[in-house]
A and B are shown apart, each in its own frame.
Chain A
Amino acid sequence: MTETLAVPYAATPRRATDAIRAFGVACLARGEVEVKQFFRSKDAVVFTLALPMVLLALLASIFSHDIPGTGVPYSQVYTTGLLAGGVASTSFLNLAVAIAGERENGGLKRLAGTPMPRTAYFVGKAMVVLVTCTMEVAVLLVFGHFAYGVALPASLGRWWTFVWVTLLGATSMSLLGIALSSLPRSSRSAAPVANLPLLVLEFISGVFVPFTSLSPGLYGFAGAFPLRWMAEGYRAALLPSYFQRVELGHHWDETAMALVMAAWLVVGLLLSARTFRWTGRGER
């Protein structure tokens, strides 16, 4: 069953304000339940937040020296990559797996049977992604800062870059996760199906491997996808300006970042709107 994302609340309201109010109530209800469910799965909370910290600790202990001739520790560079990877996991991977599960266990079908405005479901997902991404990013920054001396963004302008890269990156990756959730045949296969493209992107986008050791062809190819630009955005927020020289375009290209992420946001939105199903595979 193909449904469009936005079905307006059509309870023949006497006033438009009633409809807007009902929509707001439904959105808040979804957000509350999503966030509550996340925090009540204590093991998921702990491991989601611990993963990037553990990775940073590992990478920082393997590469414990400064980048030659800069006085900047390798951990500073790795933090930028792990921020991008962490945001991609909490948005893209988590949503793809969670939605595939709700589609299989009938949760989506039940919601679709209520008068809930369909958009409210996605607003709820956006809220939980916002909360988890914010926590993930904050925990990594604080941990890196105090454990490995990672420097925080040095100016208000850099903080601004940090914030919009996080928001735009998380949004576009979320929509791609929603689109991908229709692909796996069952909830069990959702994680492997979502992990393969994500891991490939992480390796060619400079998340785990410094992008300077990738071939320009491969790294250029990664430029077609949002993750590389998220990583570049975090470098623009966290690294000293003279690091720009080693970038492919010899500078941090905020216009390209915004354009590529926004383009994938639109692609994800269109794909989700066309492919999203409220019932499981095989139900017609």
Chain B
Amino acid sequence: MASELVIEAQGLGKSYGRTVALDGLDLSMSRGEVLSLLGPNGAGKTTTVEILEGYRRRDSGHALVLGEDPERAGASWRAKRGVVLQSCEDVVELTVWECVRHFARFYPSPADPSEVIERVGLSAKAGSRIRSLSGGQRRRLDVALGIIGQPELVFLDEPTTGFDPEARRQFWDVVRELAKVGTSVLLTTHYLDEAEALADRVAVINHGRVVATGPPAELGNRLNAPARVSWSGPDGRLSKETHEPTALVRELEGAFGGEVPGLTVTRPTLEDVYLGLIGHEADAKEEQ
């Protein structure tokens, strides 16, 4: 069961007029996984997610989500996957509780509305009109509506855009709770720290294709990249890039006769790797 795929997409293609949004995108996702899509604006993240959610038609390629083609799947399939949309301003005259209960009634086996409201941290606002909620509170309501049907797979499209740092941390806990009970989560985000904090695996999209995929710590062969060892010498800060940082540190220890002042050993950050990936791709395109 561990290797069961909830998303299998091969060669997804999509153009808007003369603009190519997706250019043969391949993506797969295992059950229970938290997968984050990273990529610059216009890379094709939202198009990919909307094709997999069933909102958009692809021009070419194959897609199976929870075993069905999202273009043809019906209501029973929609009940198994939850969608948290980027922004919604409707039903502002309902209270939070009324709204969540309303959406619960469309699903064959929904969660308890009060319990879902609790999970997204809106219990104190359950009786308030949606009109009176802050932006962050509305996003949490969006999440509640996305998970009320107890989905096996949840799509989160840039869920924390516009959040303050505290709200983001709270939101991360909500996603971790989902993952803990075995829900598969597909998350698109602009924030690398968010992907690093939440995702089991990230997929970097650029120019409509996946250019790299892997666990955040290993992306772009990050762990085998040369490490930068820095220390404070008698004439100021010194540093050296090496494939064997342990040996260098031992050597330094000998040279200093003990503790090395100001020692740091760093590998490229996720951001370094990410910027390298999308920059490299851009260069390759220009050369063609």
Contacts and interface: CB of A to CB of B under 8 A. Distances in A.
Contacts of B129: 40
Interface string B76-111: 101100010111111101100010001101111000
Interface size bracket, A side: 20 to 34
Contacts of A110: 83, 85, 88, 90, 145
9 contacts: A10-B75, A29-B106, A36-B93, A40-B94, A106-B85, A106-B86, A110-B83, A114-B106, A117-B75
Q: Is the interface of A mostly helix, strand, loop or mixed?
A: loop
Contacts of A8: 74-75
A10 B108 CA distance: 11
Contacts of B75: 7-11, 115-117
Contacts of B57: 1, 284
B74 A10 contact: yes
B78 A114 contact: yes
Interface residues of B, number: 31
Interface of A: 1, 7-12, 22, 25-26, 29, 32-33, 36-37, 40-41, 102, 105-107, 109-110, 112-117, 279, 283-284
B126 to A, nearest CB: 16
Contact of B106 (A10, A41, A115): A115
B129 to A, nearest CB: 8
Interface string B224-263: 0000000000000000000000000000000000000000
Interface of B: 16, 53-57, 74-76, 78-79, 83, 85-91, 93-94, 98, 102-103, 105-108, 129, 145, 149
Contacts of A115: 75-76, 78-79, 106-108, 149
A113 B16 CA distance: 22
A33 B94 contact: yes
Given A11-B108, A26-B106, A107-B91, A284 B56 contact: yes
